[in-house]
Amino acid sequence: MRELEFNRDNSQIGFRLQYMELLNWGTFHDKIWRIEPNGNNSLLTGSIGSGKSTLVDALTCLIVPHHTINFNKAANAEKKERNFIS
């Protein structure tokens, strides 16, 4: 278990994403896919269908209560289009 590290620099107050790994989540399969913003602000870009919304959905399911999640919201998809099982 990793200890909490407190940053005395107030320019990055709050919780900051260090890294995220995806395996068998939507289109991210067959290997572990990893992003590493290292606590910095990041910009998620890519072509249509490259997995941007899928990655956002994965992160959302970790930080939002499951009964309030609207998957694929970034793509203005229908509410029932994606769920935990799919």
Max Cα–Cα distance, the chain, nearest Å: 43
Whole-prediction pTM value?
Answer: 0.65
pLDDT at 9 > cutoff 90: no
3-state secondary structure of 20: strand
> What is the CB-side half-sphere exposure of residue 34 using CA atoms within 13 A?
6
Q: Render pLDDT for 35-63 as a digit per residue (tens, 0 to 9).
A: 999 988 889 999 998 889 889 888 888 88
Let me know: does 18 contact 39? Beta carbons within 8 Å.
yes
Backbone dihedral angles phi then psi of residue 85, each to the nearest 5 degrees:
-70, -40
Are the CB atoms for 26 and 51 separated by under 8 Å?
Answer: yes
